[in-house]
Chains A and B, each alone.
Chain A
Amino acid sequence: MSSTTKKSSFIKSIFQAPPFRWTKKLLGKIGFSGRGLVIAVPTIWLLVFFLIPFLVIAKISLSEALIARPPYSSLLEWDSDGLLQISLNFGNYYYLIDDALYIIAYLNSFKIATISTIFCLLIGYPIAYYIAKSPENKRNILLMLIILPFWTSFLLRVYSWIGFFKANGIINAALLNLGIISEPLIMLQTDFAVYVGIVYTYLPFMILPLYSNLVKLDDILLEASADLGGRPMISFFKITLPLSVPGIIAGSMLVLIPAVGEFVIPALLGGPDTLMIGRVLWDEFFSNRDWPVASAVSIIMLVVLILPVMWIQNKQNSNLGES
């Protein structure tokens, strides 16, 4: 007891040393506290890399497309009398409601992302569970194996699937040689290939949060359940699964959100009829050169994605409050 008080008083005395006191005073004068400084780093991060880009996109979404550089009108204009004119164009948002294409594309992206997330969960959960239950010295190697693919370029890994799936690719060649099929299967440029690509790419994002949740699970709970006559299946569904819900939610969000906006995987592996919002965005931006509508599409996507995340966050917080 006495040693800890000594230690803490020692640390305290460091912070009361003149350089610290003066800095603190100085920062206090311009309205900073130590706590504020710590929070400032993530705040600035979010401001610079999230809020400001978001506002820029929001601004463009309210302008009009032009043949110019940059290819959109400016919202603020000084007219000849020195008056500041603000012109907002909500037509881009109206346009998105007017044509069913956009809604269908949003829904289809959501469908593909949701199904991929479910598959990631079904495949990722046993893997995460196995790693969490492995002896400690093995865990790091197993985790390493999960992270290892990240050392290769993402694009290259998606490309390699083309080699597997194409008509004279590895899978077809193997099946043909074994005599299982007589005509090559068409796998590339199908929704199937897109699902495989997304599940494969995002699986680590499911496994890692699940693992970090499951590894904290106290084995005593399972022992207690077994002592009370609970068979392994019952113990899993009554104890392990409910306790791992935060991991499931975190993993699912990490997979679902980027998968909805995915462009590269459907572009490389998907067929031309794989309609996802990323593709629509590309068309607006590149083929129509309509940056305002493209911005409106991405603003809507952000809003649609952020609302459920906020709802879940809220729910989790209130759950924490209860327990």
Chain B
Amino acid sequence: MKYIKLLSAVAVFVASAAYAEENVVNIYNWSDYVAEDTIKNFEKSTGIKVVYDVFDSNELLESKMLSGSSGYDVVVPSFQFMARQIQAGVFLKIDKPLLTNYKNLDKNIMSILEGNDPGNAYGVPYMMFTTGIGYNIEKVKERISEDKIGSWDMIFDPETSSKLADCGITLLDAPTEIMAAALNYLGKDPTTENVEDLKAAMELTLSIRKNIRYFHSSQYINDLANGDICVSVGYSGDIFQARDRAAEAKQGVNVTYVIPKEGAQVGFDMMAIPDDAPHKENAHKFINYILEGKVAADISNYVFYANPNTAANEFVAKEVLNNPGIYPPEDVKKKLFALQPKSSRYDRTLTRAWTKIKTGQ
């Protein structure tokens, strides 16, 4: 008995020593989604060491969450994926009293998010994005008429996209987002679970399949900037980053982003804490740091995504705040739609349709 006591005392000592020593926080965020100095500044102000890993697909993150013991303390799934992960019970409830900056969050946005996260119990919004079209201004102007530019016709109209095919059109390798865009283009409800509608969207995408160079969710940033491709369906901020890289390279490539006039998807990426996170307290500290107005604004200024932080607006650069592609004006906002989580059965049909689109099988 004495030995057991001694042994457990030693074990507790070793464990606490290891715990105290390991003042770190493990972050798993999207690639190219943070300002250059965000992590450095957080480390400086809190003394917590950050281990920062990146991903470029919600699916990858989700399978890590579902396997468990990912070792991450903060992860950033998109909203509709987080909703399903909440169902699977993989997240810890946010301890709101620990977040002194929680009041900075935009009330309107928080109430939208409550739809799939009652009481905003599990998720804290990180950034907002739209899924639209990025393009090489000169090369597109050479090929198609002015009235087609800024419309989903650039992608889904076979005649228009065939004129652009030679200089390269790319789509995100994200079935939910592309099919939602196709459904919206067809005038159907993009949040539908109607299989017939999905079939119509698939047929539409198949009709322009031969004009698509590739399907990838991050490669287009560099390729657009280098002039390797002309038109990409992509995330707003990613395309603005491509624009800046192109401008820096001074190779005569000019890239811009547009929310197509028919409307586009608006998405939210959410910070959440896995229930088996090894450093829960540090995770809250990190989230709270991101919620500081100045920090959120610095990120927005760097990655060109809008933040849901009302305290940030005064720090966000004018050209970012007034850019309709980043902070859409009211009339554009009305045409935006948010995705909802779908049933497993529908997701399987969707993946199958996506394989059919990509491979023809």
Contacts and interface: CB of A to CB of B under 8 A. Distances in A.
A283 B57 CA distance: 12
Given A286-B57, A286-B60, 8 more contacts: A67-B344, A189-B213, A271-B214, A274-B359, A287-B175, A287-B354, A289-B66, A289-B344
Interface of B: 57, 59-60, 62-63, 65-68, 84, 87-90, 168, 173, 175, 212-215, 226-228, 344, 347-348, 351-352, 354-355, 358-361
Contacts of A104: 361
Interface stretch (A47-55, A68-76, A124-132, A134-142): A68-76
A271 B66 CA distance: 29
- Closest 5 A/B residue pairs (Cβ): A286-B59, A272-B358, A287-B351, A275-B359, A71-B66
Contacts of A273: 358-360
A168 interface: yes
Contacts of B67: 69-70
A69 B90 contact: yes
A70 B66 contact: yes
Interface string A270-293: 011111000010010111111000
A231 B355 CA distance: 55
25 contacts: A67-B87, A69-B67, A69-B68, A69-B89, A70-B67, A71-B88, A99-B352, A101-B361, A104-B361, A105-B361, A166-B228, A272-B215, A273-B358, A275-B361, A280-B355, A286-B57, A286-B60, A287-B347, A288-B347, A288-B348, A288-B351, A289-B59, A289-B63, A289-B347, A290-B348
Nearest to B228: A167
Contacts of B87: 67
B352 A101 contact: yes
A172 B175 CA distance: 32
A27 to B, nearest CB: 31
Interface residues of A, number: 28
Nearest to A270: B214
Nearest to A293: B348
B300 to A, nearest CB: 30
Nearest to A66: B88
Interface in A31-83: 65, 67-71
Contacts of A69: 65-68, 88-90
Given A273-B358, A287-B351, A289-B347, A70 B175 contact: no
A264 B289 CA distance: 37
A291 to B, nearest CB: 8
Interface in A187-209: 189
B214 A189 contact: yes
Given A68-B89, A273-B360, A286 B63 contact: yes
A288 B347 CA distance: 6
A100 interface: yes
Interface string A153-197: 000000000000011100000000000000000000100000000
B43 to A, nearest CB: 28
Nearest to A273: B359
Contacts of B228: 166-168
A273 B89 CA distance: 36
A71 B87 CA distance: 11
